[in-house]
Amino acid sequence: MESVQHYIKEGILYEPVIPNIHDWPIAKLFKKKPDFLEEVMADTVNQLISKTGGHDSNIGDIIAKAMFLERIRMTEDPWKVDPKDEKKFWQDIKMGLVRNEQLEDNPQAFELRNLQMLESIVSRYTNEIASTFRPGSYHFAKRFLPFFFSTLLNASAGKTLKSVIYHSVGLQERVHLIGETEAIRNLSKKGTIILVPTHFSNVDSILIGWSLHALGLPAFIYGAGLNLYNSPILAYFMERLGAYKVDRRKKNAIYRQTLDSYSTVSIQEGVHSLFFPGGTRSRSGMIEKRLKLGLLGTAIEAQRRNFLTQPRGISEKIFVVPMVMSYHFVLEARSLINQYLKQTGQEQYYILGDEFASYRKLLRFIWTTFSMNSEINLSFGKPMDLFGNFVDENGNSIDSRGSFVDVKSFFMTRGEVTEDRQRDFEYTRMLGDKIVDRYHVENRVFSSHIVAFVAFEMIKKKFPSLDLFGLLRLPDDERRLELTEFRQTVDRVIIQLRLMADQGKVHLASHLINDTMTIIEHGIKNLGIYHVKRTLSFSSENSLDSDNMNLLYFYHNRLEGYGLAKFI
């Protein structure tokens, strides 16, 4: 791992795994975009017909339900990025359903009209979801983003004008790429990679994109929330860099299946993919414990199809790589935790605007990160197959006893690869559980995580009769912590974390090799420094205070799930 960090720190990027961008799987896919979209549409229709049993009335029912849900969405939750003609489109679908009721005595015509309406909706959704990939836009982005970040880095760090111009400090000195980077580069040549990161900030997508370029990997396809397309600059690049649109407001079966088919077919084509399996940013600040299984299920289905037919991508094997994003502070923490508390406690919290939506706040976040030497870690975990078995350098699956595993056999019944939705759903659920386990192992603990966890748990212990919302409303003088007791408690927690790290249950940031007081000072310095109100600070030489209990709770939650509360 030291050699990996050395290359990145010195600013020497890896040689591309595939030198010619036009040979990248994503580039080849979008060279034949019309054929790709036709296949997605055909697959979507076939899957929907199969799931409804092919009955005319059932197909009509899912069309009617989609129309009903879409009309509610357009009325109650419209966005400026929505198509201008969607009200007319769904009004036409409504009229089509009404006219079709007159054809029930003519089964052939009734079936044809239902099919035509279904195909029309699927076509609309497919083209709405679809993006493209333009090598020219990628080349511009890979030059511009490091230049942009490095300019801010050098300026915010108080460098000379010469260093700002010549970028003597690089992005790689703040964003550390660690973990199984060599293994991922190697496996990308032997199969299809599914990268599954944790998700705490909308900054994640930008940093992950840069990290994949820095490691010499081809561009990955990924789903981006449609809300991000409210930003014209982001929309311009995402539209051209393979980011397909995901509209989480749309819950109907037709849209969900179109999205699934888009992902499944692209994976079959050997295009490396990125999923945020948590579905959205962690509102609580916790590492994800429950994952959205929909897109993970598309990887299972693509693997089954690869074994059933001759694969069209690099290889028939699909690999899963967990990734954990580690920050000292999160750009959108304040609005995220307020949303979480409102949802959890049904309290009347005021939901503040999302900080990411403001360019000024995004620049301030980046500036603060760079000027305070506040590092960011992107930890690439051990590659696995779709059943949670680790894989060797050749992509062979190895179980917990060290034996080779034939993954194809998991999809076989009486010697043949078969379709079994219930079986494959169970495989998807098991994969989700395994990813959650690996998140907690691959997590890299920072000093800020420790001081926030200890501080909140100590306050909680002082008031055992209060529930969470009572703790969050404590007056200022009740939040004060005595420094000596705090240091002793942090010391116990650090000892336990080091023991867990030795057992391979978690990873620790390099700055945690220091003595306890140095770790405390480092953590408090970095904890929430972006925010106006300090999450935790020294109120005197002998005590600590929190100016924002909501944020302290948010950052505390990073270490939930490790059983550390008993050491408080």
Closest C-alpha to 146, from 91, 213, 224, 57? 213
- What pLDDT, in 10s, does the model give residues 138-163? 888 777 666 555 554 444 444 443 44
Note down the domain range covering 513: 444-567
Among the listed ranges 222-231, 432-441, 507-516, which one has the minimum average pLDDT value? 222-231
555 and 465 both lie in a single domain = yes
- Among residues 36, 391, 30, the alpha carbon closest in space to that of 188 is found at 391
Range picked from 55-59, 99-103, 364-368 for highest mean pLDDT = 99-103
Whether 88 and 57 map to the same domain: the answer is: yes
Least confident span in 54-63, 67-76, 212-221, 307-316: 307-316
Quick check: 311 pLDDT over 70?
A: no
Say yes or no: 202 and 144 in one domain.
yes
- Pick the last residue of a domain from 420, 442, 464: 442
Across 331-358, average pLDDT: 67
Q: Are residues 209 and 298 in the same domain?
A: yes
Same structural domain for residues 178 and 218? yes
Q: Could you give the CA distance from residue 365 to residue 360 in angstroms, rounded to a whole number?
A: 9
Instruction: Looking at the structure, tell me whether residues 270 and 337 fall in a common domain.
Output: yes
pLDDT in tens, 386-422: 999 999 999 999 999 999 999 999 999 998 999 999 9
Same structural domain for residues 326 and 368?
A: yes
Given 83, 99, 129, the domain boundary residue is 129
**118 and 142 within one domain:** no
| Chain segment 510-522, per-residue pLDDT in tens | 999 999 999 999 9
What does the alpha-carbon distance between residue 405 and residue 394 come to, in Å, rounded to a whole number? Answer: 13
Residues in the chain: 568
Of the candidate ranges 133-142, 235-244, 460-469, 500-509, the one whose mean pLDDT is the lowest: 235-244
Asked whether residue 4 carries a pLDDT value surpassing 60, the answer given is no
- Give dist(CA 25, CA 132) in Å, integer: 13
Residues 6+ apart with CB under 8 A from 536: 451, 452, 455, 523, 524, 527, 528, 544, 545, 546, 552
pLDDT of residue 149: 58
CATH number at residue 168: 3.40.1130
> Does 112 lie in the same domain as 8?
no
Same domain, 252 and 382: yes
Q: Please answer whether residues 10 and 256 qualify as being in contact, where contact means their C-beta atoms are separated by less than 8 angstroms.
A: no
Angle between helix axes 203-214 and 135-156 (nearest 10 degrees) is: 110
- 182 burial via Cβ count (<10 Å: 0-12, 13-18, 19+): middle
Residue 514 sits in the same domain as residue 402: no
Is the model more confident about 530 or about 511? 511
The mean pLDDT value for 294-305 works out to 94
Contact 530, 372 (CB under 8 A): no
Handedness of CA 541, 542, 546, 552 (dihedral sign): positive
Same structural domain, 244 and 389: yes
Q: For residue 143, what pLDDT is reported? A: 73
Residue ending a domain, among 70, 94, 129, is: 129
Summary mean pLDDT of the chain: 86
Q: Give the chain's domain count.
A: 3
pLDDT of 224 over the 90 cut: no
Confidence of residue 359 (pLDDT cuts 50, 70, 90): low
